[in-house]
Homo-oligomer: A and B are copies of this chain.
Amino acid sequence: MRTTLRQVLIGDALPSERIFHERLSKAQALAVLSSDALSSVAYATEETLLVLVLVGSAALTLSWPIALAISVLLIIVAISYYQTVHAYPTGGGAYTVAKENLGTWPGLVAGAALLTDYVLTVAVSISAGVAAIVSAFAILDPLRVELALIAIAFVTLVNLRGVRESGRVFAVPTYFFIATMFLLILVGLARWLFGSPPLVSPGPPSTNAVQSLTLLLILRAFASGCTAMTGVEAISNGVSVFKRPEADNAGKTLLWMAGILVTMFLGITYLVNQFGVVPRGGETVVSQLARAVFGTSPVYYLVQAATALILLLAANTSYSDFPRLAMWVARDRYLPRQLANLGDRLVYANGILLLGGLAALLVIIFGARTHALIPLYAVGVFISFTLNQAGMVRHWLRLQSPGWRRSAFINGVGAIATGVVLIIVTATKFVHGAWIVLLLLLAILLIFRTIHRHYQQVAEQLSLSRRWPTPVRRHTVIVPVAGLHRGVVKAVQYAQILGGDLHVVTAEIDAHDTEKLSVRWQEVLPDVPLEVLPSPYRSVIAPLLEFIDGFVQEEGDYVTLVVPEFVPARWWHHLLHNETAWLLRLALLYGRRGWQGRFRIITDVPFYLSR
């Protein structure tokens, strides 16, 4: 069943007992769960500038106060989530919190929003990583989509191998990125303090303002910068992958992450302002800054490599979160139950594959362009932030545990802040793409409902509480035969021990052939009568169905059809045989409706051919 290729790519199956060993240390978890949040430094500043530049180069300095506002918001959200992590040490994040405190549908809205955002995170991060590579090597520009798809395939494969190994794989690039960013900021600050900053070539001076500066535009710039906040909730969803004590470790890691993120985001934005970097097509803002600080030296290439790596691998955060969230939703029967199956390598393999497939689709549709994907982004994140914090407020109000007032206040501030930002993000980005996300969320919620209704209906029909199933009243065993050979004799021998009325029948396709068969049957199996079914239209199946109908008329009537079938040794041999057994199975299983409660059972007696 398991092929060698699969073993090479994914590894051998792991026993269930090892699931507790697949936990992560704080340092590993920071790498696995924060690469999304940290990596947004690579594009958040640029997205702010891209809005401000519409007013003219002069407006770019507004990016600094906007970055400060975003940092404050980030700290509020981090503290709010710190409380969530301690209140829900088993993990589950916005979906669980909203479901338990606000009700099923708010929970599902949060779940749908998060699932959407995880897919977008993969698409955006991978696209931005490709942009960092293309900034350094312009020649690769036509291969954007191909590079992005290769990266998605790689991350998917690594995750199919299992979470611990991905912890190992991803620790190096995350810390490498943090190191190079701090180096960039420190060297940049030094050059700015101790010498005149080398001016970045300003490109075509875009003093010709396209739009005038309005509050709406500032809010749009703010909303675009809020992409820096994506991924902050990852740790609260993934509490269960931490080593014990899970909640403590997760809380500390969360605060560390927020600190690192704020420092890097503010540092980069400050320097971009001081060095007068202007966003332009083809090269990212961070790439321009690094060139200004280091020149086109080996160190510059190191920064680009680190950025590309962290971005390509930031997608990995979603690969931890998406399958886990999908599993929770599937356990609650709002998604197909296959998403809750733990695979060979102790990961939710179906969720990983689904995420990879959807992200690849997005990359193809949007041509792996970060800027085209960004408007879809962040709406989902802020929906889940708001619902999570609001849920936490309800949680404290209900629980009234010691210190509940202070906790409720903190989460209340978080809920209001993220709620306001949600409105800003939705309003300013609505025509630019947020409407697509809202439609998508609606579609996902409809799918949730349809799936849930189906599972409920199945459960109802399968329920034993209605009434006890009628016991077997009459059992008839029918063996349809077309000839007389070892396989047929085996099937008849088998049918005889099943303890029902035995009927061996043959459909008369050709009177001459049937006559010959009957004579031989008499010689070989004299004690088993062979009944001949007329078949004026030469069909094997139709007369048999009619014959069965005579026996299955009431509940408790069981007919077992014992079909002699030989299994050829090679696949192409199937082409040389009539495959009547398969046709029979299809005709009986799917052919007619209205058979509830009456039982026609098909039993193939396989006869294995060796050649």
Interface string of A444-479 (1 = CB under 8 A from B): 000000010011011101111000110110010000
Question: Contact: A487 with B464, CB < 8 Å?
Answer: no
How many copies the complex holds: the figure is 2
Question: Contact: B538 with A567, CB < 8 Å?
Answer: no
Question: Contact: B608 with A536, CB < 8 Å?
Answer: no
CB nearest neighbor in B for A609: B461
Interface residues of A in 582-596 (CB under 8 A from B): 587, 589-591, 593, 595-596
In the complex, chain B residues whose CB is within 8 Å of the CB of A9: none
In the complex, chain B residues whose CB is within 8 Å of the CB of A499: 497-499
Question: Contact: A576 with B472, CB < 8 Å?
Answer: no
In the complex, chain B residues whose CB is within 8 Å of the CB of A609: 457-458, 461
Question: Contact: B462 with A494, CB < 8 Å?
Answer: no
Question: Contact: A604 with B605, CB < 8 Å?
Answer: no
Question: Contact: B607 with A462, CB < 8 Å?
Answer: yes
Which of B14, B463, B578 has a CB less than 8 Å from the CB of A486?
A: B463
Which of B468, B485, B500 has a CB less than 8 Å from the CB of A462?
A: B485
Complexed CA–CA distance, A606 and B604 (Å): 14
Complexed CA–CA distance, A502 and B463 (Å): 24
Question: Contact: A576 with B14, CB < 8 Å?
Answer: no
Q: List the 5 closest A-B pairs by CB distance, nearest first.
A: A462-B485, A15-B536, A499-B499, A13-B537, A603-B603
Known contacts A462-B607, A599-B490, A605-B601: A500-B500 contact under CB 8 Å: no
A-side residues, CB < 8 A to B, are 1, 13-17, 336-338, 341-344, 451, 454-455, 457-459, 461-464, 468-469, 471-472, 475, 484-487, 489-490, 493-494, 496-500, 509-510, 524, 535-539, 541, 558, 560, 566-568, 573, 575-578, 587, 589-591, 593, 595-596, 599-611
Question: Contact: B490 with A15, CB < 8 Å?
Answer: no
CB distance from A591 to the nearest CB of B (A): 7
In the complex, chain B residues whose CB is within 8 Å of the CB of A541: 1
Which of B343, B489, B602 has a CB less than 8 Å from the CB of A604?
A: B602
Known contacts A537-B344, A538-B342, A589-B567: A576-B451 contact under CB 8 Å: yes
In the complex, chain B residues whose CB is within 8 Å of the CB of A494: 472, 558, 599, 601
Complexed CA–CA distance, A336 and B496 (Å): 33
CB distance from A473 to the nearest CB of B (A): 10
Task: With a 10 A CB-CB cut-off, give which of A342, A494, A593 has the most chain B CB atoms.
Answer: A494
Complexed CA–CA distance, A23 and B66 (Å): 92
Question: Contact: B458 with A537, CB < 8 Å?
Answer: no
